[in-house]
Amino acid sequence: MYTVAVTRDFVAQHYLIGGDWGAENQRHSHHYRLELQLEGAELDQHGYLVDIVDIENNLEALVASYRDRTLNDLPEFAGLNPSIEHFSRICCTRLAAAIQAANLAAITVKLWENEIAWASYRLARWGATE
């Protein structure tokens, strides 16, 4: 299985809801790092798993939609605690919908909210060649 990964850094804000988490309940910023991992067993006719320029463009568009925004104010977080777990799933499903590569078997988003804490979400792509 081949894996290709691309990362982007960005700053966004949030505040946690539904519990008493002290300062985390107040609006604050995180310097997020998003790592997108793409997996597949087959390369294309050029020897690539994916078109890296297309992946970078899709990732940049996603990150731009969150950069300097408050996650709680965005429709995709309505009714959700904007945890890194939810955030990684939302990013993963958005990227999976945007990336068109028939040979992908899985897509994973790993999202760090600081140097030591991260969450990830993996989505297996049906119909891919394995």
CA 48-55-86 angle, to 5 degrees, is 125
Which tokens is 71 given? 């996650």
pLDDT at 25 over 50: yes
How far from 19 is each of 15, 81, 94, 127, CA to CA, in Å? 11, 10, 28, 41
Question: Rounded to whole angstroms, how far apart are CA atoms 117 and 112?
Answer: 6
SS3 50: coil
pLDDT tens by residue, 29-52? 999 999 999 999 999 999 999 999
Sheet holding 106-112, edge to edge: 2-14, 28-40, 106-112, 118-124
pLDDT score, position 101 = 83
pLDDT tens by residue, 66-90? 999 999 999 999 999 999 999 999 9
Domains recognised in the chain with CATH numbers = 2-104+114-122 (3.30.479.10)
Task: Write down the pTM of the prediction.
Answer: 0.92
pLDDT tens by residue, 93-129? 999 999 988 889 999 999 999 999 999 999 997 444 4
pLDDT score, position 102 = 84
